[in-house]
Amino acid sequence: MCAFIKKLEFWLKKVQRNSVSVFPTLDKFADDSEIDNLNTICDCIREHLTKLRDELVSYFPSIMNQDRTQDWIQNPFVEDVTSSSGLSDKLTENLIELASDRALELKFQNVTVSQFWLEVKGEYKELSEIAMSALLPFGSTYLCEVSFSAMSLIKTKHRNRLSVQNDRIIAVSDIEPRFDNILAKKHPQVSH
């Protein structure tokens, strides 16, 4: 979505200069038929693209402000990865040690990201566990499919602006609610 919104902004800049080269079919048609009112068409396209971009940004507000706190998982050897890691002080120090280890950096270049974090689990257990939980959110495709089905049931046409994260977690959880404890805290309404 972020890439699509950036493409919309790029298309808007082109259209604002009355260039439709980013729309090959329209560009070819404009060249072949020598349209006189290309400015009017560009105004219409500009208005449409602006509305589309604004709707997408309002529907996905966090998409343009992507969370960078887990970038260290994808590459712990990036310069200044600790500045926005979102880790505790102790784990940040561990990450600095890991990022300074040249042998681990060479190993990182020769294996997949998940293999790397599995291999350093002995030395950097807590970092490895955090990384693996972020890299492997679903143990199988079954859980992913159940989660998607729950989301599609929760987020309907009439409830399309809901944040489904908490509801989805409850819907796919294996934990049974303790109704006895919940009901024990409730007091029945006494009639007069």
Q: Report the first-to-last Cα separation within the chain, whole angstroms.
A: 58
Q: Please return the burial class of 63, using the count of CB atoms within 10 Å of its CB with bins 0-12, 13-18 and 19+.
A: middle
What's the pLDDT tens digit per position in 69-100? 677 888 888 766 656 567 888 888 888 888 88
Tell me which of 15-19, 95-99, 186-190 is least confident. 186-190
Listed residue (54, 48, 78) closest to 5, CA to CA: 54
What is residue 120's three-state secondary structure?
Answer: coil
What is residue 29's three-state secondary structure?
Answer: helix
* Selection from 57-71, 82-96, 160-174 with the highest mean pLDDT: 82-96
Q: What is the pTM of this model?
A: 0.44
In degrees and rounded to multiples of 5, residue 178 shows phi and psi of -90, 85
Q: What is the DSSP string of 130-173?
A: HHHHHH-S-SSHHHHHHHHHHHHHHS-GGGTT---HHHHHHHH-
Which CA distances in Å does 156 have to 48, 96, 103, 172? Answer: 26, 45, 51, 17
